[in-house]
Amino acid sequence: MNTTVWDGRVRGYIPQEPLTIAPDLLLHTETEEEVDPVTFEVIRYSLLNINVEHGHTLQRLCVSPVTMLARDFQPSLMTADGDLVFLGPYLQYFSNAQSLTTKWILENRSQAPGIAPGDMYMSNDPYVGTPHQPDTIVAAPVFVEGELFGWIANVLHHTDIGGTSPGSFCVDAKDMFDDPPAFPPFKIVEAGQIRNDLEEIFLRQSRSPSNVQMDLHAAISAASVAVRDLEALIARYGASTVKSVMNRVIDAGERTLQERLAKIPDGTWTHRMYAEAAHTGDDKTYAYQLTLRKSGTELYVDNAGTDPQAGAINVTYAGLCGAFFSALCAALTSDLAGAYGGVYRRVHFDPTPGTLSCADFPAAVSPAGTFTMEILISLSGTVISKMMACGSPDIQELAIGSAHAAFYGAITAGANRAGEPFIGVNANNMIGALSASPTADGVDFGGHFWIPEGIASNVEELELLWPNLFLYRKSMSTGADGAGRQRGGRSLIEGAIPWKVPGLAAALYIDESFPKTVGLFGANPGSAGRFRVRHQTNILELLRGGVVPTSVDDVSGVDHAVEAKGPMILMGADTVYEWSAANGVGHGDPLQRSADLVTMDVDAGRMDRSTAERVYGVHIGVDTRPDEAATRRAREQLLRARLADATPPPTVRRIGEASEIRVVGGELGTVRDDAGRLISYVSMTARVDLGPIGGNYKQWCAVRESRLYDNDPVFLGAADRAGARIRLREYLCPVSGYRIDVELLRDGDGPLVDFMIQAAES
């Protein structure tokens, strides 16, 4: 009999309410029955501002670019038993990290060594609450007259806390024993004094102990300021009044989610994504799957269908629910300004343990902040968007596109010009790109919805900090990757060389052989992130001649064969390296995009004419305006070609003109009967019946399947890499040829039943 429990030791921590807390730790529970509206608003905004100021203090005191500039941190304010009241506008997948860790502290440390005024606990244990080991939590209790009133906490990313790779993203890790050390919660501050003995144990693991120490002291100091501010608020208005406002803020968040879920029919939505390479030297492909079920005003989430844990591409339970919460709150409750605690009450997780997205100890998780967390955010955002597409028009408009499937960029390391070691965590992918929504194109260089306050660095700042010379930072073009009726936003390409040093190493990089994201309702796949290295180049000669290249292809040299998760690459002074991020994904069939919008992209240099013709079927005349007749003929030909290559459904039946049809997304719609009940799916243009509500509409589509590499030159990769084993499956209206949906599938995987609206009872 398996007796393993979800206690944060072998398996991730899932708190069971009520918490088991030492009886001599008294929790403050007194509240006021009535708080007048003016006082309520004053206290509510004061609580919000305490948390905002906590974040500002943290940013001002940190010294590492990843925290000081990119803002890879998160402050929070919680109740006595660890429920979230306010979260900051920073990295959102930290949403539940402080809460989980605080609840674990209450259950496992309240007896011994105890929780007292002036204490602070610290942890970076992913099996307790953090996404991966570099993300370190500091949690401070707040007491009122001997009773525990609440908690102030923050989590921030440290530059290096050990492990096999500089920067602590250990892609070669086989298990936790190759990873950076994970420390369960321990008392780093006792009675207001830092425990230097324990601090030194933590710092001893780091290649950058001075930076880590200063950032740790920043976290402790910022938490101290927030504790002082909360104590002052309590002293002014009374503990029971402040506690009442905290509880009402949580309740209001819960009501907001309930009201919005009530506008969505019950159903089940699923999505699947793939990663390549679980560790250095691996070329296999791995599946992550997430299913969201809505029943009334409750949400149920499971990860069944996800592959077993492997290599270094895992996360624990904390990462899984943190990713889901970040996508859910961004889409459905972003107007709550971080008051998400009540939202969490309505979400119930049923995770399958021992999987890539809910790993058991001792699975390695340290690279999660670059790889797996982004996959899970994208996966979560996609299933949530599918659910919202079935809701009322005002809910549909809130849906956001898929996130990037990785945090693209590079970590470099070596010695600087003074001979001192450095670790350069390049977070310029904060520039990002937002995917398309149902009604608008994605935002070029629009950042990421899961870190709204994140910013990229100026290259001058990074050149001051690290021995790099940045040659260019430029926009990606918009092409087949990210194409749709609404196209995805564009992202960036960046190139650099070592500067005034003999060389440096690329400790972490991303080179994908296929895109991991695909747009909703018939849009194309997104981009594959790339990392290119060319050694023994003529770059220094070009620079001496006043020529600054704008691509690796502008220099001569020897190309380095790069793996998806390869070993450290040593780069000499004449090596040029370039990384590219990914365009956001689109929404809807590219052949339904406005020809005028395509022409605008061509005119602005975002796309060339051949791409416009090949991807969108848009022909532009000599007057730089769309040639309407040629465009119509080209699109008709492309649609006919789709159907000619497709397997038709068993039968084709069309819906009468009198039926009430509502669009779900792109070409997919639903039909209602005279009583307003959903009865069937339908294609919007040709009005083809796609089967009953409660069934799988894909059974009634024409289906075309091909190798991803055969679809467009932008998707083409090496025949010996994982992308060669990925297929593109298109579900088409069997009459018009317009796409209803698109899937990426690994060889051997069957199609996914991903959309199941529950039929209304008669």
d(CA 48, CA 139): 18
Q: Residue 3: its pLDDT value, please? A: 63
Query: In sequence order, what are the residues at sequence separation of 6 or more whose Cβ sits closer than 8 angstroms to the Cβ of residue 735?
Result: 652, 654, 683, 686, 688
d(CA 211, CA 451): 23
Mean pLDDT of the chain: 96
pLDDT in tens, 623-681: 889 999 999 999 999 999 999 999 999 999 999 887 789 999 999 999 998 888 899 99
Q: Residue 623: its pLDDT value, please? A: 86
Q: What is the DSSP letter of 560?
A: P
d(CA 718, CA 716): 7
- For residue 253 the two structure tokens come to 């968040």
Q: In what order do the strands lie in the sheet with 120-123?
A: 84-87, 73-79, 147-157, 135-144, 120-123, 186-190, 193-194
- For residue 130 the two structure tokens come to 């953090």
- For residue 512 the two structure tokens come to 């994908």
d(CA 605, CA 34): 61
Please report how many Cα atoms fall inside a 13 Å half-sphere around the Cα of residue 265, on the Cβ side: 23
d(CA 559, CA 532): 8
Q: Is 305 exposed, middle or buried (0-12, 13-18, 19+ CB in 10 A)?
A: middle
d(CA 163, CA 678): 54
Task: Tell me how far CA of residue 754 lies from CA of 357, 403, 727, in angstroms.
Answer: 19, 19, 17
User: Could you give the percent of the chain with pLDDT greater than 70?
Assistant: 99
Residue 523 has pLDDT above 70, yes or no: yes
Q: Kindly indicate the confidence band of residue 400, based on its pLDDT and cuts at 50, 70 and 90.
A: confident
pLDDT in tens, 274-309: 999 999 999 999 999 999 999 999 999 999 999 999
Q: Residue 475: its pLDDT value, please? A: 97
pLDDT in tens, 489-510: 999 999 999 999 999 999 999 9
Q: Residue 761: its pLDDT value, please? A: 56
pLDDT in tens, 301-351: 999 999 999 999 999 999 999 999 999 999 999 999 999 999 999 999 999
**Under the phi-then-psi rule, with left for phi > 0, alpha for psi from -120 to 50, and beta for the rest, what region is 177?**
alpha
Residue 364 has pLDDT above 60, yes or no: yes
Task: Tell me how far CA of residue 204 lies from CA of 155, 162, 200, 228, in angstroms.
Answer: 20, 8, 6, 31
Strand positions, DSSP E, 145-233: 147-157, 186-190, 193-194
- For residue 712 the two structure tokens come to 């467009």
pLDDT in tens, 558-601: 999 999 999 999 999 999 999 999 999 999 999 999 999 999 99
State whether residue 73 is helix, strand or coil.
Answer: strand
pLDDT in tens, 615-629: 999 999 988 899 999
Please report how many Cα atoms fall inside a 13 Å half-sphere around the Cα of residue 683, on the Cβ side: 27
State whether residue 303 is helix, strand or coil.
Answer: coil
Instruction: Give the residue-averaged pLDDT of 415-439.
Output: 95
Helix%, strand%, coil% for the chain, nearest 5: 30, 25, 45
Terminal CA-CA length for the chain: 44
Q: Among candidates 406, 419, 329, which has minimal Cα distance to 84?
A: 329
Residue 1 has pLDDT above 50, yes or no: no
The alpha carbon dihedral of 660, 664, 669, 673 has a sign of negative
- For residue 598 the two structure tokens come to 């395509």
Q: Kindly indicate the confidence band of residue 762, based on its pLDDT and cuts at 50, 70 and 90.
A: very low
Cα torsion for 352, 353, 357, 363, to the nearest 10°? -170
